[in-house]
Chains A and B, each alone.
Chain A
Amino acid sequence: MLKRIFPLLLLILTTSCVEDVDFEQAEDLSISPVLEASLIFFDFSASQFQEPTGTAFVVEQDELELDFFNEEFIQDNLVKAEFFFEVRNTIDRVFRADVIMYDVNGNVTHMFDILVTAGATSEVTETHTEVFEDALLDQLKNTTRMELILTMFPSISGIPLDDTSIGTIKMRSKATLFFEIDTQ
């Protein structure tokens, strides 16, 4: 009896197998998450731009170190990025926002600008999408510093800006980062 049962058991154990399975498929692993993150924002009122002559350019600028895009993970897996800006203006002046990006040696890697018309009678909304792909994406990955210059143009009608001036200029922006993470 035993002689009959053991071979049977052995048969069950040996015929049990793992069929039609290919573990090497794991090498094809590729996931493509898309992250969105807030970028720069501001909200300035007209009175903050003290311009008594009505004929001058007012230039405000600021810059920030940006080593985020140098991270190894970003370098390896970021395949596309989009910066989306929205500027809303109710000040009776034309504005231009310049974004200038620099690499570690201080060379400009990329620059772009957003021109916003005067919001005299009603609110003016300007949007801008900057797409980073291929060569431009590499430039973004080389970027370590970003400068933002906001320029207010002179008034066409020569009206100065003071504490009583009305209107605001607001900017909102976000980055959309497209990743492709694979095992290669």
Chain B
Amino acid sequence: MKKISIIIVFVFCCFVQAQNKQLLYNFTDIPQSLLLNPGAEVNFQWHIGIPLLSQIHLNAGASGTSVYDLFADNGIDFNEKLRRVVYSMDKNDFFVVNQQLEIFSGGFAIGPSYKKNKYLSFGLYQETDIHFYFPKDYAVLAYEGNQTNIGRVFDLSDLNAKGEVISVLHVGLMTKLNEKWTYGFRGKIYSSLLNFKSTNNRGSFVTREGTENFYDHTFDVDLAFQTSGITSLTDLNTSSEAVKELRKRVLFGGNLGLGLDAGFTYHPKEQWTITGSIQDLGFIHHTKDVETYELNGQYTFNGVNPLFPNDGSGQTAEEYWQEIEETFEDLFELDTISKKYVSWRSPKLNSSVSYKYGKKVLKECNCTADDGDYLNEVGLQMYAIGRPRSPQLALSAFYYRRIFNFLSGKVTYTVDSFSKTNVGLGISSHLGNINFYIMADNLLEYQNLAKANSASVQLGLNYIFPEAKK
């Protein structure tokens, strides 16, 4: 049954990955796995992230094209490549950039000394997230004009973009309920440094064969572009002033919001693990430094009717034309208003099913240590992120191996709409109490990253005091 569902998933695949951290998810040797699942089963007494170095994450992707498609130095005319890109993508293709930097983080086990079954973790990180869909109809209109598109309705809702720079202060608590169940929650306070959002656009533009004149041009425009934190920056003179202003917003200085993560780890049997988590179920309320730009109106233009208008109004062409001009100006005049708004964060869902096996063989007795950990783990992971039009999904198969006591690694194979062959590799080392990890995906494309539809890398340094072995 499981096989069938996997096949179905592959056949109907529309899997997309964006800020998917399939390598870090459930990699419980690394404290930052708690950020993906507050119910991740970590075993530390305490840890502290090396400030500014504990998690550096970068991810960029485009679902319908790659840098290479457009910028390949292959002798094909740039405009021909541009044409291919414009026509090969559709309105649901998207571009995404995501970056995270942990400023500080830490955690410690709490509970009675004989049974410290809770782990409190906290930190502050900064995140940039930009996501926009390919505005297909706008691109075609700009590329061709309307001459070859008489009768075609250009859908103005194709413009759909949002972006934000935020800082996140968070505290989470993981609880090991028993051998089978672990769960956790994380509360977040968001401070928005910058935000823009244009996700509810409506309207159309169409040129149709007219009755009185050759064409009727019909505009139906309902567009809005919301911003917060941007207007005040444009008033500043230098970029250093802007940086100073942004720094002020990192700790509660921006527009504030609240969020929640929740997750669990469950072992139905000793060697089986099921996990699930939801992140960033939250919003930001933008009240300060807000500016919204709006375009609104409907109008059909079919030309100028001069001399003696048939309607008997006695208008001259001049008056008639002025009326048209005013209507156009009204239609295309940007209304700038200060309006509070709410931006929802993009919630992320992670889940996994995995199986552990193979204990370490002890040389002395040629047997396995009963109390030892399993060295291998294989499983499947599912990832989803809520985006303006529809959730984007990714499915990964993974193999985790504890290579040595001080070194573990994880390999993932991910299917999403960026790629059907995304192989990722991550390793985590523990030298003394220093934990270093580095992970990257799309390794098959590493010989030429430009051909990759997406790439992500993350690395970090922590100081970990592990739980003593029982």
Residues of A within 8 A of B (CB): 1-2, 5, 9, 12-13, 15-23, 25-26, 28-31, 33-44, 48, 60-66, 84, 148, 150, 172-174, 176-177, 179
B302 touches A41 (CB 8 A): yes
B62 at the interface (CB under 8 A from A): no
**Stretch from B87-95, B122-130, B140-148, B194-202 at the A interface:** B140-148
Q: Closest 4 A-B residue pairs measured CB to CB?
A: A33-B145, A38-B303, A16-B446, A41-B213
Q: How far is the CA of A75 from the CA of B53 in the complex (A)?
A: 52
Residue of B145, B146, B308, B440 touching A48 (CB-CB under 8 A): B308
A43 touches B212 (CB 8 A): yes
A18 touches B144 (CB 8 A): no
CB neighbours of A148 from chain B (8 A):
306-307, 317
Q: How far is the CA of A20 from the CA of B69 in the complex (A)?
A: 11
* Cβ of B219 to closest chain A Cβ, rounded Å: 12
* Cβ of A39 to closest chain B Cβ, rounded Å: 5
15 A/B residue pairs, CB under 8 Å, sorted by A: A2-B431, A5-B427, A20-B450, A25-B81, A26-B71, A28-B78, A31-B79, A33-B144, A36-B146, A39-B304, A41-B305, A44-B308, A61-B307, A62-B318, A174-B303
B214 touches A38 (CB 8 A): yes
* Cβ of B412 to closest chain A Cβ, rounded Å: 15
Residue of B67, B321, B407, B438 touching A65 (CB-CB under 8 A): B321
Q: Please indicate which of the listed interface residues A31, A148, A150, A174 has the most CB atoms of chain B within 10 Å of its own CB.
A: A31
A42 touches B71 (CB 8 A): no
A40 touches B303 (CB 8 A): yes
Which of chain B's residues has its CB closest to A48's CB?
Answer: B308
A19 touches B147 (CB 8 A): no
B72 at the interface (CB under 8 A from A): yes
B307 touches A172 (CB 8 A): no
CB neighbours of B429 from chain A (8 A):
2
CB neighbours of B5 from chain A (8 A):
none
CB neighbours of B317 from chain A (8 A):
62-64, 148
B77 at the interface (CB under 8 A from A): yes
Range class of the B interface residue count: 35 or more
A31 touches B321 (CB 8 A): no
B370 at the interface (CB under 8 A from A): no
Q: Tell me whether A1 and B143 are in contact in the complex, defined as CB-CB below 8 angstroms, given that A12-B446, A21-B71, A148-B307 are known contacts.
A: no
B427 touches A9 (CB 8 A): yes
Q: Tell me whether A19 and B450 are in contact in the complex, defined as CB-CB below 8 angstroms, given that A26-B78, A35-B145 are known contacts.
A: yes
Residue of B79, B81, B215 touching A174 (CB-CB under 8 A): B215
Q: What mask results when residues 56 to 98 of chain B are scored 1 for a CB within 8 Å of chain A, else 0?
A: 0000000000011001111001110110000000000000000
CB neighbours of A39 from chain B (8 A):
213, 303-304
Residues of B within 8 A of A (CB): 67-68, 71-74, 77-79, 81-82, 141-148, 150, 207, 210, 212-217, 301-308, 310, 316-318, 320-322, 403-404, 406-407, 427, 429, 431, 438, 440, 443, 446-450
B79 touches A5 (CB 8 A): no
Q: Tell me whether A41 and B147 are in contact in the complex, defined as CB-CB below 8 angstroms, given that A18-B449, A21-B67, A33-B141 are known contacts.
A: no
CB neighbours of A21 from chain B (8 A):
67-68, 71-73, 450
Known: A33-B144, A60-B307, A62-B306. 9 other contacts (CB 8 A): A1-B404, A18-B67, A20-B74, A28-B77, A31-B143, A33-B143, A38-B216, A41-B303, A42-B306
Q: How far is the CA of A60 from the CA of B316 in the complex (A)?
A: 11
A20 touches B438 (CB 8 A): no
CB neighbours of A26 from chain B (8 A):
71, 78
* Cβ of A180 to closest chain B Cβ, rounded Å: 11
A22 touches B318 (CB 8 A): no
Which of chain A's residues has its CB closest to B310's CB?
Answer: A43
Q: How far is the CA of A30 from the CA of B74 in the complex (A)?
A: 18
A19 touches B447 (CB 8 A): yes
* Cβ of A118 to closest chain B Cβ, rounded Å: 19
CB neighbours of B215 from chain A (8 A):
36-38, 174
Q: How far is the CA of A26 from the CA of B450 in the complex (A)?
A: 15
* Cβ of A147 to closest chain B Cβ, rounded Å: 9
CB neighbours of B71 from chain A (8 A):
21-23, 25-26
A29 touches B321 (CB 8 A): no
Residue of B214, B307, B406 touching A62 (CB-CB under 8 A): B307
Q: Tell me whether A173 and B77 are in contact in the complex, defined as CB-CB below 8 angstroms, given that A16-B447, A65-B321 are known contacts.
A: no
